Chain A
């Protein structure tokens, strides 16, 4: 039995799919996540000198999803700072009370505490779900 070389197999596969039109597979634009696919599409259309202005609504959605995640992450960091500040105030501020600090601590929970059965704080989960919902609309 004759063993084919890699080059020969490559030639056969090129013959099979005509080279110019490979079957969709992992790593092709069709399988990218919606935001990445949108970026790729804009770039491809621009390279082909085709209009891209009609992508503006989709790009606005992608920006909104990105901002939603970014704002939530920023708010979470700020909540962490507030918590640390409240904790420190017990030692540095004579007028600070445990009740006041506890109240401040608890108020940040939505941004920082991971409830049982979840993988991230409630607010961050809401932001992620919302962003994914928006990104889902990109493909609709």
Chain B
């Protein structure tokens, strides 16, 4: 019964994820030092325009995660499993359309707490969402080579290869 509604369930979760991303992107511009501070909540508290931002971001991260959990129920059945994503892409491609940008990020993204990952991804043009393999940017011939895949794996896991 559930799998008969797989496309509908996927569509609902994808649409909701897009709404969450839009909600986050419509927040006031993030404080300039936000990505470098250790206490994001305190940083937001310094700005009157951001009194409710941290709560919004925390809820957004949770709901966004929930959208992916719901979609994961039917991801494989719809043929959207990670193995169908472009060769050489990392798992973040399931939620970052521009996954190659994340690969070349200086590591700041990886250090962000969960609540700040969505705004960071939006700010850096990673295009967060709930993506099927056909939605995301394709990999380059270099990504598809053995060396390229090994390198991407190394970057994703923080190992210098």
A-to-B contact residues, CB < 8 Å:
11-12, 14-21, 23-24, 28-30, 34, 37-38, 41, 44-45, 47-48, 50-51, 54-55, 57-58, 61, 137-140
Contact = CB atoms under 8 A, between A and B. Distances in A.
B3 interface: yes
A45 B92 contact: no
Interface of A: prevailing SS: helix
A57 B110 contact: no
Contacts, number: 94
A20 B72 contact: no
Contact of B4 (A12, A14, A140): A140
A48 B5 contact: no
Contact of A20 (B13, B68, B82, B158): B68
A8 to B, nearest CB: 9
B155 to A, nearest CB: 9
A54 to B, nearest CB: 6
B45 interface: no
Contacts of B92: 17-18, 21
A18 B95 contact: yes
Contacts of A50: 12-13, 16
Interface of B: 1-5, 8, 12-13, 16, 61, 63-70, 72-73, 82, 90-92, 94-96, 102, 107, 110-111, 114, 117-118, 156-158
11 contacts: A15-B110, A18-B91, A18-B94, A21-B68, A21-B94, A38-B2, A50-B16, A54-B8, A139-B1, A139-B3, A140-B3
Contact of B95 (A20, A45, A58): A20
A41 B74 CA distance: 12
A16 B157 contact: yes
Contacts of A44: 66, 69-70
Contact of B91 (A21, A30, A55): A21
B2 A138 contact: yes
A137 B1 CA distance: 6
B65 A24 contact: no
Contact of B1 (A16, A24, A51, A58): A58
Contact of B73 (A12, A15, A29, A51): A29
A104 B110 CA distance: 72
B91 A16 contact: yes
Contacts of B2: 34, 37-38, 41, 55, 58, 138-140
Contact of B72 (A15, A29, A48): A29
A50 B71 CA distance: 13
